[in-house]
């Protein structure tokens, strides 16, 4: 298998997102480039077959929100160090490994507009490849001057795995209450954002209160990100988003819009929605969820979490970095892909 790099045309939403992020990342651009260079070096192997696999999934690294959050938090709190570079690489490698495993769980065929690694190389190889990346990421984390990064990322990934397990366990559980939904997404998605932001502040010398504020900022961003991901899975366009859509419905995942809809209807209405969900009938579900304004409800929830993320940064002095972190939060809310 030879690597097939992404040659799909860039869509207008992608161009807009890249332009926004390029501006938001300006204060950390030199350090982010160091993260990218180290990430590519570490995602390699002396074995040709494994090297090809790792090179193929380099393109899984997209917006780089997690390492960027880590670097931006560090910049907002003080001086960036080599520890920040190392942990930025670790954050991105952990994210990449979770994507490899997510695509297996979802039977996804596409990732960033290309054939997913599991569709290309099979589930067995993909599971082991994800494990390899996880293991190497934790090895790299031990290069930091203190073990805090390794400890906190280990804890974060344990919670991520817990969230994924609970999501699998609750497939087709359409009686899932909203608080339990948030327990799941806080683990599977938001924890890595929260820990990345907190570690950025910690390694810049921030006190405990500021580190906690950045943890909460990342957690709220992650919650909003996952809600928007739920929305895109239902109402997004696959050609724009660049990954397999509708997998939430097909896999029986109770997402926030669906949970809200089922709380608004009963009798025949509930039966109709459950039948559509059990059949993976995305089109019918979209129509039903529009009727109860469940998409609007979910978007409003995401907006509330973004507002909380921004308000939590009042511990920082007013200035360019706080304003920029507010804009990062707004970007998560406005994402189309």
Whole-angstrom distance, CA of residue 199 vs CA of residue 194: 9
For residue 115, the surrounding DSSP H or E stretch is strand 114-115
Please report the pLDDT score of residue 241 as a whole number: 47
**pLDDT at residue 3 greater than cutoff 50:** no
Lowest mean pLDDT among 14-18, 127-131, 241-245: 241-245
Instruction: Specify if 90 maps to a domain.
Output: yes
CATH code for position 134: 1.10.600.10
Please report the pLDDT score of residue 261 as a whole number: 95
Instruction: Specify if 124 maps to a domain.
Output: yes
**pLDDT at residue 9 greater than cutoff 90:** no
Whole-angstrom distance, CA of residue 95 vs CA of residue 103: 12
Mean pLDDT, the chain, integer = 91
Q: Are 246 and 237 in contact (CB under 8 A)?
A: no
**pLDDT at residue 302 greater than cutoff 60:** yes
- Mean pLDDT for 175-198 is 97
Q: Are 132 and 101 in contact (CB under 8 A)?
A: no
Query: Sorting pLDDT into bands at 50, 70 and 90, what band is 279?
Result: confident
Please report the pLDDT score of residue 243 as a whole number: 47
Residue 186 per-residue DSSP state: I
The domain containing residue 178 runs over which residues?
12-334
Classify residue 245 as exposed, middle or buried by CB count within 10 Å of its CB (0-12, 13-18, 19+). Answer: buried
Please report the pLDDT score of residue 62 as a whole number: 81
- Mean pLDDT for 279-308 is 94
Domains: count for the chain: 1
CA-to-CA dists, residue 267 to 108, 133, 255, 262, 277, angstroms: 33, 48, 20, 10, 16
Please report the pLDDT score of residue 84 as a whole number: 99
Please report the pLDDT score of residue 247 as a whole number: 66
Instruction: Specify if 231 maps to a domain.
Output: yes
Whole-angstrom distance, CA of residue 198 vs CA of residue 217: 9
Q: pLDDT tens digit string along 177-186?
A: 999 999 999 9
Please report the pLDDT score of residue 242 as a whole number: 47
Query: Sorting pLDDT into bands at 50, 70 and 90, what band is 18?
Result: confident
Please report the pLDDT score of residue 240 as a whole number: 46
Query: Sorting pLDDT into bands at 50, 70 and 90, what band is 109?
Result: confident
For residue 111, the surrounding DSSP H or E stretch is strand 110-111
**pLDDT at residue 6 greater than cutoff 80:** no
Instruction: Specify if 7 maps to a domain.
Output: no
Please report the pLDDT score of residue 76 as a whole number: 98
Residues in a beta bridge with 110: 115
Q: pLDDT tens digit string along 25-61?
A: 999 999 999 999 999 999 999 999 999 999 999 878 7
Query: Sorting pLDDT into bands at 50, 70 and 90, what band is 237?
Result: low
By percentage, how much of the chain surpasses pLDDT 70? Answer: 92
Please report the pLDDT score of residue 336 as a whole number: 59
The pTM is what? 0.92
CA-to-CA dists, residue 120 to 4, 114, 238, 285, angstroms: 10, 10, 19, 31
């Amino acid at each position: 298998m030879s690597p097939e790099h992404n040659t799909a045309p860039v869509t207008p939403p992608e161009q807009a997102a890249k332009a926004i992020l390029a501006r938001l990342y300006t204060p950390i651009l030199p350090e982010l480039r160091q993260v990218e260079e180290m990430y590519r070096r570490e995602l390699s192997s002396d074995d040709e077959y494994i090297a090809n696999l790792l090179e193929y999934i380099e393109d899984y690294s997209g917006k780089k929100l997690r390492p960027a959050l880590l670097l931006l938090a560090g910049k907002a709190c003080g001086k960036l160090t080599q520890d920040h570079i190392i942990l930025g690489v670790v954050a991105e490698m952990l994210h990449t490994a979770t994507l490899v495993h997510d695509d297996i769980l979802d039977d996804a065929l596409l990732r960033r507009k290309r054939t997913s690694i599991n569709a290309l190389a099979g589930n067995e190889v993909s599971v082991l490849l994800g494990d390899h990346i996880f293991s190497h990421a934790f090895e790299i984390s031990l290069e930091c001057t203190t073990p805090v990064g390794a400890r906190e990322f280990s804890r974060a990934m344990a919670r991520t795995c817990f969230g994924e397990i609970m999501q699998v366990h609750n497939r087709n559980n359409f009686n899932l209450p909203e608080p339990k939904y948030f327990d799941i997404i806080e683990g599977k998605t938001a924890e890595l954002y929260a820990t990345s932001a907190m570690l950025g502040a910690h390694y810049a010398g921030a006190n405990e209160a500021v580190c906690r504020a950045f943890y909460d900022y990342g957690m709220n961003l992650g919650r909003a990100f996952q809600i928007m991901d739920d929305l895109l899975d239902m109402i997004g366009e696959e050609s724009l988003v660049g990954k397999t859509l509708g997998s939430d419905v097909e896999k029986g995942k109770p997402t926030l819009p669906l949970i809200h809809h089922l709380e608004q209807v009963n009798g025949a209405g509930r039966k109709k929605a459950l039948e559509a969900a059990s059949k993976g009938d995305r089109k019918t579900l979209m129509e039903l969820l529009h009727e109860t304004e469940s998409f609007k409800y979910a978007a409003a929830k995401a907006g509330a979490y973004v507002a909380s993320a921004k308000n939590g940064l009042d511990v920082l002095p007013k200035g360019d970095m706080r304003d920029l972190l507010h804009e990062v939060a707004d970007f998560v809310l406005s994402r189309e892909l």
